[in-house]
């Protein structure tokens, strides 16, 4: 009897094809996440290494642009009495910030941190970005509120009411939660901006974030400082000392809300990627991705 013919040799899998035990949809999602990671690292590295002139300008103008959102908030709340509608109007400031490519202190809790994680910058670079952006945001906000209170003195009582909501709040569980949520919302906003190429979607996300931050009275170290500045300038019933006594705990809690609940989770996911720094994630196995 003739010998049985040998079984045909298996053709090697194409490098462009996923392994047979991996769903194509999963590979597509992984590739999208990897692309987002590379984009975030590239943008974060650019922010970390901006020159002093650019850094000062983007931070200062960021404060001015947020002032437009506060002006819209005050106008809508005065006309309607609705904090929720006014919060939606406040999103105008975040849209202006987005389209003008300016800097906001707590907006830097995700993308520049990802660049440091990928070794495209140092912790010193990150602290420089945070420090300069924080100070210049406040300077721009102070100037914008001075113009607003000078042009619309009728907003004075409302500004005082809003400011007292912040500076008179006791440091309790509610204040801690409001501050954590403030950091979380603004960092999730950055994450949503990074996850789409559509300017329309980014604008919509900015409006939603404004609604949550201002409409629900969340504590945000920079944005809410502008309301307090306006109250000080308009009627003087709130002091800079009261502002500092409120600010000292809101900043670290905003940091905690953004870095722990959003950025750390993003870094944990990114650590599984081949692009991430550190030892191979495959224990010496070659990467399955082309």
pLDDT tier at 38 (50, 70, 90 boundaries)? confident
* Predicted confidence band of residue 162 (pLDDT cuts 50, 70, 90): very high
For every residue of 12-72, DSSP letters joined together read PPPTTSPPTTS-HHHHHHHHHHHHHHHHHHHHHHHHHT--HHHHHHHHHHHHHHHHHHHHH
pLDDT for the residue numbered 73:
98
Residue 57 and residue 152: Cα distance in Å, rounded? 26
> Which token pair is 163?
């400011």
pLDDT tens per residue across span 166-223: 999 999 999 999 999 999 999 999 888 888 889 999 999 999 999 999 999 999 999 9
Model confidence pLDDT, tens digit, residues 40-53: 788 888 888 989 99
Higher per-residue confidence, 76 vs 276: 76
Is the model's pLDDT at 14 over the cut of 80?
A: no
Structure tokens given for 188: 């999730």
3-class secondary structure, 275: coil
**Residue 276 confidence (pLDDT):** 55
Instruction: Name the 3-class secondary structure at 144.
Output: helix
3-state secondary structure of 236: coil
Question: 115-142: per-residue pLDDT in tens?
Answer: 888 889 999 999 999 999 999 999 999 9
């Amino acid at each position: 009897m003739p010998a049985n013919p040998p079984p045909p040799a298996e053709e090697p899998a194409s490098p462009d094809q996923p392994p047979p035990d991996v769903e194509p949809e999963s590979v597509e999602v992984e590739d999208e996440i990897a692309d987002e990671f590379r984009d975030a690292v590239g943008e974060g590295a650019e922010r970390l290494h901006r020159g002093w002139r650019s850094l000062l300008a983007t931070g200062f103008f960021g404060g001015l642009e947020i002032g437009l959102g506060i002006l819209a908030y005050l106008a809508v709340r005065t006309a309607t009495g609705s904090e929720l509608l006014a919060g939606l109007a406040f999103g105008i400031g975040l849209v202006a910030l987005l389209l003008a490519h300016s800097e906001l202190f707590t907006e830097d809790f995700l993308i520049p941190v990802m660049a440091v994680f990928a070794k495209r910058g140092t912790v010193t670079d990150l602290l420089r970005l945070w420090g300069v952006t924080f100070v210049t945001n406040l300077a721009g906000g102070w100037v914008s509120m001075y113009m607003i209170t000078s042009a619309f003195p009728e907003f004075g009582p409302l500004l005082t009411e809003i400011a007292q909501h912040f500076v008179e709040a006791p440091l309790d569980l509610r204040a801690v939660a409001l501050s954590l949520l403030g950091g979380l919302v603004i960092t999730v906003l950055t994450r949503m901006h990074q996850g789409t190429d559509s300017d329309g979607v980014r604008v919509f996300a900015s409006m939603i974030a404004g609604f949550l931050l201002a409409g629900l009275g969340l504590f945000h170290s920079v944005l809410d400082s502008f309301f307090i500045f306006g109250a000080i300038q308009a009627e003087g019933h709130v002091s800079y000392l009261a502002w500092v006594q409120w600010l000292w705990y809101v900043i670290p809690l905003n940091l905690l809300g953004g870095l722990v609940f959003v950025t750390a989770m993003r870094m944990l996911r990114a650590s599984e990627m081949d692009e991430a720094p550190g030892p191979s994630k495959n224990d010496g196995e070659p990467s399955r991705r082309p």
